[in-house]
Structure 1
């Protein structure tokens, strides 16, 4: 403990002096770039394999297996007949068309364009429906946790990440199966002499799997622009400013100089402090325009079309807001802070909240609470968790190890610097004010209906799983199935996201965690105690669940799921004006895709908490993680439509039951 304290003190003093020293060396690589990889960032991109299209027969088999736990015997037989008709009829025609289309577009994957279109065409509001939340662990040193200091360091680290990415100096994204053997200098030397056309396959020999990085360039300078019927993504990668929001007021702040270099820490700190001072002299925004980004997309599209009919507004919106590299939302004391004993009020606020100090259309928004709690709320259409989590982890690591400013760091004054700190004074008429008021009321109605529950379960953690040779993810997913079954006496459509980024332009695939194996275990353990199988038999059933879960995960990650394949076939029918095949209208397909249990694992040492909204009105949105000290879950639901509190209580009971089986089985062996 003494060594740790000494190390922290030494670190703190060193960094405090560094903050002033860097002002004269800000054009050096050490400041301008987060990384200086020996392998260029996109080194493996050319040689990534293409996402395979599964065999139609296999997709039909997998669909039938996934839906079986949800159906009666009669329903299953009917579904089997419909599926067979599809496989031998229109399905073959659609599959052939998909194969031809894929062969004509070898630069991408068969799912990439349809998936973008699916996101951009959905008219649902972004908060709760799409934009997720990742909350960062705090910096335990008060001088770096202070709001403006933390915001400054997060901005600088974000820019260092962005500059590294643009200069191809960011380490390529590689999943290392055996990091001690492959995440090494020797591996990188071997890779550097491998021909680019075969580099990915050379990496496989080290059990290191390069991942697609095509989404990374949309992390910054990207905005989703609302349109009637479908939105579009616009990107301004050469921007030199960020958008800063405070109490609904909006500011553009330059962070890069005319040559594209990151301004010195004292300059960025000074400009943020100037914004805080400016804002203290103003009222909170009477018409907080950001609320419109929380509206239903067609509503926002119509409001925006009217708003930009004013030339001043159009210029400010397009050049300062849409084109900003990212958004920084500095929340006020009234918005609260993180309370470990009761974190849900702040998480609720950060996930959706009042929307008065947000611009949900930006690819990335950094949210900084008054107490320095930092979070990322991101627009989802442009990319998936792999890119965002990499950015999130690098950000946390860099600000923890190499913060450039503290609460006491002197700053370069930006008072009166209207060129680099620009107040965005929009011209708001009565029609826009009414649109904001209506959007605020509708968002408040939806957000107020959101219930959020949290569980931290100490008996189940990484150590427990390792000790008992358990797959952490499969055990938690089994717990969700047991919790729902014992609380609501049924099995429902369940969704676990799995990345397919091992392939060029891969997105995600669905892993269906409700299986015959999980159903058999749940039924067995819920019998009266005198009718239950032995602990060893139940443990064998847990292992069977884990085996099935592992196989399904492997299939999904290797592009051998069925959800995206069936989705793409349906889109072919729709785009070519063909009748929708009957299998898509059958009860089994609808039941499986009504994802009442929607889950996402949030595995990161940088993560304090993560959350997202339910994907259906009567569903549960479950963000979960298993850490060194506990297994945790944050469950969202809509009041009077799903019972989140009942589920979370049942989940604790499910954990108890499964842990008891594991312990009893271990004792008897």
Structure 2
């Protein structure tokens, strides 16, 4: 590990380092308590040389769109879509493509999708929980003593601050996807990269099959809040804050975690301050007006209420909201003993509570909310407009690894609660009957919504990554095929299906959509209804499954390389609206409506730190499928709304889909 002084010598032109690296402390034999990493390759070393997100050719986009809608349309509507796209290709599409290209040329510092995508998120008026904010739950610490709520929270806060300070100081390791880790994830690779000018560093890394990823979103992990506005929200950031927002039983506290010089406070001090929060909150009882609940409602309603709090009621409300809440580095929710606890037999109540709950002990507007329950279960619930899974998962993995393997706060630690009045501040917003009624209405509505939300889970050990890889099949393709088969059996239909794919290999890339419902998956599902006992038919089915894998792999590759069709069509539509043009017929077509009504919305995260993840359906009659396929099992957590889509029936059919597909695959294992 390189020293701080060496990092300064390498990056003299970066004033952040000289300002931040003022103080080093040694605690319990740990060198440099202040920083999580000391990368000798600066954090944003590859940022300048990242390639720009390409604008696909119009003809390719229309052909890809046609291929995606074919399995979900009848022949008559498909033929109509072909005619609409033929006109689009020689008419409106040409003009919009030219406008998009011009827009892209004028914004060479970013990607063509970045601003429209931000705009889409911030204009949506739907509530954040379930509709946007996803959930990631950490695995438990295998050392039971470290599962204590306040001890685990203290360690998570410390590691979060070490991550943040490393990021600020340009000392966090650059994010790189290593296709051949033995060759590129090495000190030798880093030493070579240090000699390469930043303007070409990304392309030099490609020679080692190493693919640097965009890190522009990382800066917004901390100190960011989404502020409700009438018609459109905004994002604000304060990078110089020294405090976090802590919630307990609906009570809000501003808790300092950095000292006056910007250094992380000692573990005993942070533990002491969190102890003070819990002690005071438990002594005074739950908040009678848990204002955080208002962050769970319709964004225009919340905008009106926030304006009412600051303008009509006044007092300290504006300062408290802006200085203590909005400016907080992140949110820490310390749930009380009344909250659900983890149970391996049934952790659905905990999932629902961490995903959204009644909202009384949450502030959903913060970019990141760490939640620690009474039994030490830890989770991250994050606001989605500012960024995507790549940045959050990196942060999630880093703090889990450190807190479980190299925690700074030990069970033997002695609580230090000195200066608690100065450094732990109760945030008491002034309210009136109007606000109090709005809060109670929000609580009741949240409870009603959560009562309607169903979550069904499935873990299936007979189908796993090892089986797929042994046959040269894409594990993700097999999972997506299983979802199509399960849906067909449960509801006898093929529908718009969404799988997110990161385009972080490009500067300011966001995501692209993979469309897993293909003619290849449809052929498997239609043919699988025949008898599985017929040997020749098994061979035919296996050939069709292999074709599914090839098609899905190609679609995923196209999406990752910025060659999907969803974002391109979205951006062309944005240009039409931007220039006041009438929307082309394709955007008013049944095909466009169907493909974008994502009844099956899926997301997978591969992480050794992840216990479970979840998100809500993106449409009322949809399914939200968080899934994983590991070396020894596959599984899914499926959300749905009561009387809208039968999630249990889907999961029952998914189990039989896993069974049937695994029986075919195992037959061909050598």
The TM-score bracket by the shorter chain reads over 0.9
Report if aligned partners of 1:244, 1:252 keep a CA contact under 8 Å in 2.
yes
Paired position in structure 2 for 1:316: 320
SS in structure 1 at match of 2:137: strand
Cα distance between partner residues in 2 of 1:153 and 1:607: 17
**Alpha-carbon distance, 1:487 to partner:** 1.1
> Residues 509-588 of structure 1 correspond to what in structure 2 (within 5 A)?
509-529=512-532, 534-588=537-591
- Which has the higher mean CA deviation after the structures are superposed, 50-59 or 306-315? 306-315
SS in structure 1 at match of 2:278: helix
**Alpha-carbon distance, 1:29 to partner:** 5.9
Paired position in structure 2 for 1:385: 389
> Residues 237-256 of structure 1 correspond to what in structure 2 (within 5 A)?
237-256=239-258
Q: Are 1:398 and 2:398 matched, yes or no?
A: no
Q: Are 1:655 and 2:647 matched, yes or no?
A: no
SS in structure 1 at match of 2:628: strand
Cα distance between partner residues in 1 of 2:471 and 2:232: 50
* Cα deviation digits, residues 148-173 of structure 1 (max 9, x gap): 00000000000000000000000000
2:345 pairs with one of 327, 337, 341: 341
**Alpha-carbon distance, 1:466 to partner:** 2.8
* Cα deviation digits, residues 348-395 of structure 1 (max 9, x gap): 110010100000000000000100000000000000000000000001
**Alpha-carbon distance, 1:418 to partner:** 1.4
SS in structure 2 at match of 1:419: helix
2:236 pairs with one of 231, 234, 237: 234
Paired position in structure 2 for 1:13: none
**Alpha-carbon distance, 1:533 to partner:** 5.2
Report if aligned partners of 1:134, 1:607 keep a CA contact under 8 Å in 2.
yes
SS in structure 1 at match of 2:333: strand
Report if aligned partners of 1:59, 1:561 keep a CA contact under 8 Å in 2.
yes
- After superposition, the Cα gap between the structure-2 partners of 1:241 and 1:74, relative to the gap in structure 1 and judged at 3 Å, is same
Q: Are 1:428 and 2:455 matched, yes or no?
A: no
- After superposition, the Cα gap between the structure-2 partners of 1:63 and 1:352, relative to the gap in structure 1 and judged at 3 Å, is same
> Residues 98-497 of structure 1 correspond to what in structure 2 (within 5 A)?
98-309=100-311, 310-414=314-418, 417-497=420-500
**Alpha-carbon distance, 1:48 to partner:** 0.2
* Cα deviation digits, residues 53-98 of structure 1 (max 9, x gap): 0000100000000000111222111110001111110111011000
**Alpha-carbon distance, 1:425 to partner:** 1.6
* Cα deviation digits, residues 188-212 of structure 1 (max 9, x gap): 0111101111000000000000000
* Cα deviation digits, residues 110-137 of structure 1 (max 9, x gap): 0000000000000000000000000000
Cα distance between partner residues in 2 of 1:556 and 1:650: 29
Report if aligned partners of 1:60, 1:83 keep a CA contact under 8 Å in 2.
yes
**Alpha-carbon distance, 1:246 to partner:** 0.3
**Alpha-carbon distance, 1:311 to partner:** 2.9
Paired position in structure 1 for 2:8: none
Cα distance between partner residues in 2 of 1:206 and 1:41: 19
Cα distance between partner residues in 2 of 1:26 and 1:299: 50
SS in structure 2 at match of 1:311: coil
Report if aligned partners of 2:26, 2:32 keep a CA contact under 8 Å in 1.
no
Cα distance between partner residues in 1 of 2:181 and 2:90: 46
Cα distance between partner residues in 2 of 1:23 and 1:583: 62
SS in structure 2 at match of 1:109: coil
Report if aligned partners of 2:131, 2:618 keep a CA contact under 8 Å in 1.
yes
SS in structure 2 at match of 1:148: helix
**Alpha-carbon distance, 1:447 to partner:** 1.8
Cα distance between partner residues in 2 of 1:327 and 1:530: 56
- Structure 1: gaps spanning 5 or more residues: 1-21
2:607 pairs with one of 604, 607, 624: 604
- After superposition, the Cα gap between the structure-2 partners of 1:533 and 1:452, relative to the gap in structure 1 and judged at 3 Å, is farther
Cα distance between partner residues in 1 of 2:228 and 2:425: 25
Report if aligned partners of 1:148, 1:407 keep a CA contact under 8 Å in 2.
no
- After superposition, the Cα gap between the structure-2 partners of 1:27 and 1:121, relative to the gap in structure 1 and judged at 3 Å, is farther
**Alpha-carbon distance, 1:417 to partner:** 2.3
Report if aligned partners of 2:333, 2:362 keep a CA contact under 8 Å in 1.
yes
Cα distance between partner residues in 2 of 1:465 and 1:150: 37
**Alpha-carbon distance, 1:408 to partner:** 3.1
Report if aligned partners of 1:23, 1:266 keep a CA contact under 8 Å in 2.
no
**Alpha-carbon distance, 1:534 to partner:** 2.1
**Alpha-carbon distance, 1:529 to partner:** 4.7
Cα distance between partner residues in 2 of 1:481 and 1:566: 25
Cα distance between partner residues in 1 of 2:375 and 2:92: 58
Cα distance between partner residues in 2 of 1:493 and 1:329: 36
Q: Normalization by structure 2: what TM-score? A: 0.95
Cα distance between partner residues in 1 of 2:458 and 2:174: 35
Cα distance between partner residues in 2 of 1:387 and 1:117: 20
* Cα deviation digits, residues 424-451 of structure 1 (max 9, x gap): 1221111111111122222222222100
**Alpha-carbon distance, 1:628 to partner:** 2.9
SS in structure 2 at match of 1:360: coil
* Cα deviation digits, residues 311-341 of structure 1 (max 9, x gap): 3111111100110000000001111211011
**Alpha-carbon distance, 1:26 to partner:** 9.7
SS in structure 1 at match of 2:338: helix
Report if aligned partners of 1:248, 1:357 keep a CA contact under 8 Å in 2.
yes
**Alpha-carbon distance, 1:536 to partner:** 2.0
Cα distance between partner residues in 2 of 1:205 and 1:94: 36
Report if aligned partners of 1:26, 1:264 keep a CA contact under 8 Å in 2.
no
How many residues were matched structurally?
A: 645
Cα distance between partner residues in 1 of 2:411 and 2:645: 44
1:589 pairs with one of 589, 592, 597: 592
Cα distance between partner residues in 1 of 2:30 and 2:531: 70
**Alpha-carbon distance, 1:554 to partner:** 0.4
Q: Normalization by structure 1: what TM-score? A: 0.95
- After superposition, the Cα gap between the structure-2 partners of 1:264 and 1:549, relative to the gap in structure 1 and judged at 3 Å, is same
Report if aligned partners of 1:27, 1:261 keep a CA contact under 8 Å in 2.
no
Paired position in structure 1 for 2:15: none
* Cα deviation digits, residues 19-72 of structure 1 (max 9, x gap): xxx976599962100000010000000000000000001000000000001112
**Alpha-carbon distance, 1:531 to partner:** 7.6
Report if aligned partners of 2:34, 2:264 keep a CA contact under 8 Å in 1.
yes
Q: CA RMSD in A?
A: 1.4
Cα distance between partner residues in 1 of 2:388 and 2:256: 28
Report if aligned partners of 2:25, 2:34 keep a CA contact under 8 Å in 1.
no
SS in structure 1 at match of 2:620: coil
